[in-house]
């Protein structure tokens, strides 16, 4: 067992290698692009939220007046259904 | 002594310098942990990047149950397992050829070389190999290694003991220990 333990100690002679110097720059680059993607998603979600809110408010108002809704494409929809 | 908890708080606030400090503290050990499993420098570069990007991304979910260093090494270890699963049949072994052969003479004049030991480590079961590699190649304490493998210390000690027995048995067949 002693011989085995001694031979296992050989493994401690394997030197630790250092990562390349420029590796952190790559990490940084990816972190920044990660941030950018996060911001883009945030902006998209907020715009979508505002858009939907605007749409709902518009539909709500038109429902009160019993009118159809003019959309961006100028197509008329009657959200009242089949009356 | 650097307070790593504070570094994590700074990372959450978006401080890139804190990420750099964490990187400088742990990059070498993370890099070697990966290199000891795949012996592929390009892959070690990629996975090391992934590890620190995960640290940056998930720092907000770090609850402080363990030390920051253990958390980072666990991320690295799990990324290695993912990579092993992905390329199941190929590079699941330490490439012995890349290590220089070190001859060692013991009291009974029996000589063993490092290549033989690393070759025998390759033949261990995956969990035994992980435990053995963490302690003897990556140079973690048994406590740290058990936390990295998400095991309790007793179970880890038992696993490591079985790994040593298997290794000794393999080496004795080859070298007559």
Assess whether pLDDT exceeds 90 at residue B153: yes
CB-CB under 8 Å, B171 with A4: yes
The pLDDT mean for chain B works out to 83
Nearest Cα residue to B168 out of B95, B116, B100, B97 = B116
pLDDT of amino acid A69: 56
pLDDT of amino acid A73: 57
Structure tokens at A41: 């998603």
pLDDT of amino acid B102: 46
CB-CB under 8 Å, B27 with A24: yes
Most confident range, picked from A64-73, B35-44, B70-79, B102-111: B70-79
Residue B111: its H or E element = strand B111-113
**Minimum distance, in Å, between the CA of residue B65 and any CA atom of chain A:** 25
Q: Cα separation of B72 and B44, whole Å?
A: 15
User: Residue A60 — very low, low, confident or very high, per pLDDT cuts 50/70/90?
Assistant: confident
User: Residue B109 — very low, low, confident or very high, per pLDDT cuts 50/70/90?
Assistant: very low
* CB nearest to B35's CB, from A6, A17, A26: A17
Please check whether residue B171 is in contact with residue B177, taking contact to mean a CB–CB distance below 8 angstroms. Answer: yes
Helical H segments across B39-105, by residue range: 41-58, 68-86
CB-CB under 8 Å, A8 with B27: no
The torsion angles phi and psi of B139, rounded to 5 degrees, stand at 65, 40
Assess whether pLDDT exceeds 50 at residue A39: yes
Angle subtended at Cα B74 by Cα B136 and Cα B35, rounded to the nearest 5 degrees: 50
Q: What percent of chain A has pLDDT over 70?
A: 72
Which single residue is written with the structure tokens 């004049």? B109
Q: Between these two residues, B63 and B71, which has the higher pLDDT value?
A: B71
Q: Which residues of A touch B28 (CB under 8 A)?
A: 16-19
Residue A15, number of CB atoms within 10 A of its CB? 9
Residue to mutate among A2, A6, A9, A10, with most B CBs inside 10 A, is: A10
Q: Between these two residues, B87 and B97, which has the higher pLDDT value?
A: B87
Q: Cα separation of B48 and B42, whole Å?
A: 10
pLDDT of amino acid B4: 83
pLDDT of amino acid A6: 77
pLDDT of amino acid B173: 79
Angle between helices B153-175 and B114-122 (to 10 degrees): 120
Tell me what ipTM this predicted complex has: 0.72
pLDDT of amino acid A42: 95
Residue to mutate among B15, B33, B106, B122, with most A CBs inside 10 A, is: B106
**Minimum distance, in Å, between the CA of residue B134 and any CA atom of chain A:** 12
pLDDT of amino acid B101: 47
**Minimum distance, in Å, between the CA of residue A51 and any CA atom of chain B:** 29
Range from A29-33, B139-143, B165-169, B170-174 carrying the lowest mean pLDDT: B170-174
Average pLDDT estimate for B74-100: 73
Q: Is the dihedral of CA B135, B31, B5, B58 positive or negative?
A: negative
Q: Which residues of A touch B48 (CB under 8 A)?
A: 19, 23, 27
CB-CB under 8 Å, A4 with B45: no
């Amino acid at each position: 067992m002693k011989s085995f333990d001694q031979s296992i100690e050989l493994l401690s002679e394997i030197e630790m290698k250092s990562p390349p110097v420029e590796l952190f720059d790559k990490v940084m680059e990816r972190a920044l692009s990660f941030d950018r993607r996060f911001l883009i998603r945030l902006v998209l979600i907020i715009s979508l939220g505002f858009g939907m809110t605007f749409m709902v408010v518009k539909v709500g108002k038109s429902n009160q007046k019993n009118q159809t809704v003019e959309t961006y494409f100028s197509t008329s929809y009657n959200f009242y259904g089949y009356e | 002594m650097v307070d790593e908890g504070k570094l994590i708080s700074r990372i959450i606030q978006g401080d890139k310098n804190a990420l750099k400090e964490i990187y400088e503290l742990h990059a070498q050990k993370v890099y070697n942990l990966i290199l000891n499993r795949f012996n592929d420098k390009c892959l070690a570069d990629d996975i090391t990047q992934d590890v620190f990007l995960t640290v940056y991304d998930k720092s907000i979910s770090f609850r402080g149950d363990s030390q920051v260093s253990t958390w980072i090494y666990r991320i690295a270890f799990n990324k290695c397992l993912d990579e092993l699963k992905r390329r199941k049949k190929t590079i699941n072994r330490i490439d012995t050829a890349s290590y220089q052969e070190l001859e060692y003479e013991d009291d009974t004049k029996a000589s063993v070389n490092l290549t033989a030991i690393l070759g025998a480590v390759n033949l261990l079961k995956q969990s035994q190999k992980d435990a053995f590699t963490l302690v003897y190649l990556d140079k973690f304490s048994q406590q740290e290694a058990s936390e990295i493998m998400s095991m309790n210390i007793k179970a880890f000690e038992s696993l490591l003991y079985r790994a040593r027995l298997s290794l000794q048995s393999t080496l004795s067949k080859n070298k007559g220990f």
